[in-house]
Amino acid sequence: MNLISKDISGDFPVSDKIYLNNASVSLMPTQSIEAMKEFLITYNSIGPDSKDSEPFVTEKLQSVRKTIAKIISCQPDEIILTQSTTDGINFVANGLTFDDNSNIIIRGMTHEHHSNFYPWIKLKEKISIQNLPIDENGFFQLDDLELFVNQNTKLVALSHALYNTGSILPVEEIGKILDGKVPFFLDSAQTIGCIGDIDVSKIKCDFMSFNGSKWLCGPMGTGLFYCNRKSSELLEPKTIGGESAIIYDDSKLAFKELPDKFQTGFRNYVGIVGLASSANYMLNLGMNNIREKIQYLSTLFREELSKIPNIMLYGPDDQNLRTSIVSFNIKGFDSQEAVDRLEKQNIILAVREIMDKKIIRASPHFFNTEPQMLEVIDAIKKL
């Protein structure tokens, strides 16, 4: 399927806005909104706590796990349903066992997204945090990683792609270096749904966390945590309930197997239904087709920006090294002022930061169109 020339904006609710903030929260297809509505009607009609409700809900949970498992090429029981990317990060940060000599390796410190920075920094009271030096785009030297890893390294925690520059880290090469010797965690909030087919077995990561409301076009409050079945033994859940554990010998507790081990309490059932609908919609279009479309749109946008005087671009020039994120500034304009002015024209961008520098971030998705990109360029020229 050639998505580049195909306008699928009609599959989404009608809006007079040009929405280019998908790296934060994406739009949802109309069919997913309808699926959520239908779930709520059916769930209430059969009785939320009736005999018929349990198999109805169970089928929905199993369905979304199967769909997400297809997207990242894992087993359905390795998918834990959460509320956010941050939930999965904290599963790992709080679930690993450390001793006084332990260290973990992260990248770039304050160049990192807060959700994949604060949970590790919080561990500084217990362990050593090793920080990989980075270049202007957020990449690090693989040789540095090899030098940092030692017998006391308990984890390497990285972002799959960066929220500020859009840089995609060479995770398969990193996985080969670590090769099971050190547990490997990925924050994949900025990749799942926007960089094509993904295979966790090729990446060789033990854990991966991402959410449903960015590139997967699902609703807020939906998150996914991939936990390799063998690696699950490394993590002790920090919450417990009737859904995640059993009691035996009157007073002894034991955690259930995956995925129940990490799931206490009820899930966001209606959100899960919406996420499953969006994810299946995208699978039908083809993840690599989606990647091709957003590469085309972002490269067009970046090239047209480069023709405008006083534009400063950030991130890799090579489109294969970045997501659809295009980060830039306009000389003489405060980034927030520029974003606010554009929003008054129904153009939605975002302000983010690269270290202590505020930047403007555009992040088109597959439902955006070439005419929209050019309309935004024209609006920027007229600021």
- Half-sphere exposure at residue 332, Cβ-oriented, CA atoms within 13 angstroms: 5
Task: Give the pLDDT of residue 26.
Answer: 98
Q: Identify the helix (H) or strand (E) that includes residue 255.
A: strand 252-255
Phi and psi for 298 in degrees, rounded to 5?
-70, -35
105-129 residue pLDDT tens: 999 999 999 999 999 999 998 999 9
Q: How confident is the model at residue 298 (pLDDT cuts 50, 70, 90)?
A: very high
243-252 residue pLDDT tens: 899 998 888 8
Token look-up 């090793």 returns 130
**pLDDT at residue 10 is higher than 90:** yes
Nearest to 188 by CA among 224, 138, 147: 224
**pLDDT at residue 278 is higher than 90:** yes
Specify the fold of 9-20+286-381. Answer: Aspartate Aminotransferase, domain 1 (3.90.1150)
Average pLDDT on 48-55 reads 94
Share of the chain above pLDDT 90, in %: 95
Whether the Cβ atoms of residue 12 and residue 33 lie closer than 8 Å to each other: no
**pTM for the full model?**
0.96
Distances in Å between the Cα of 91 and the Cα atoms of 7, 146, 209, 224, 234 are 40, 26, 10, 12, 11
DSSP state of 238: S
299-352 residue pLDDT tens: 999 999 999 999 999 999 999 999 999 999 999 999 999 999 999 999 999 999
- Looking at every residue in the chain, the average pLDDT score rounds to 96
**Domains of the chain: which residue ranges?**
9-20+286-381, 31-284
Q: Do domains 9-20+286-381 and 31-284 have the same CATH topology?
A: no
* Distance between CA atoms of residues 262 and 264, nearest Å: 6
Average pLDDT on 288-293 reads 98
* Distance between CA atoms of residues 81 and 224, nearest Å: 5
Task: Give the pLDDT of residue 265.
Answer: 85
* Distance between CA atoms of residues 293 and 339, nearest Å: 25
* Distance between CA atoms of residues 315 and 322, nearest Å: 7
- State whether residue 232 is helix, strand or coil: helix
Token look-up 């006084």 returns 100
Task: Give the pLDDT of residue 345.
Answer: 98
Q: How confident is the model at residue 1 (pLDDT cuts 50, 70, 90)?
A: confident
Domain 31-284 indexed as CATH 3.40.640.10: yes
Whether the Cβ atoms of residue 87 and residue 223 lie closer than 8 Å to each other: yes
Q: How confident is the model at residue 266 (pLDDT cuts 50, 70, 90)?
A: confident
* Distance between CA atoms of residues 269 and 266, nearest Å: 8
Q: How confident is the model at residue 214 (pLDDT cuts 50, 70, 90)?
A: very high
Share of the chain above pLDDT 70, in %: 100
Secondary-structure percent of the chain, ordered helix, strand, coil, rounded to 5: 40, 20, 40
Task: Give the pLDDT of residue 251.
Answer: 84
**pLDDT at residue 161 is higher than 90:** yes
**Structure token pair of residue 329:** 């500034």
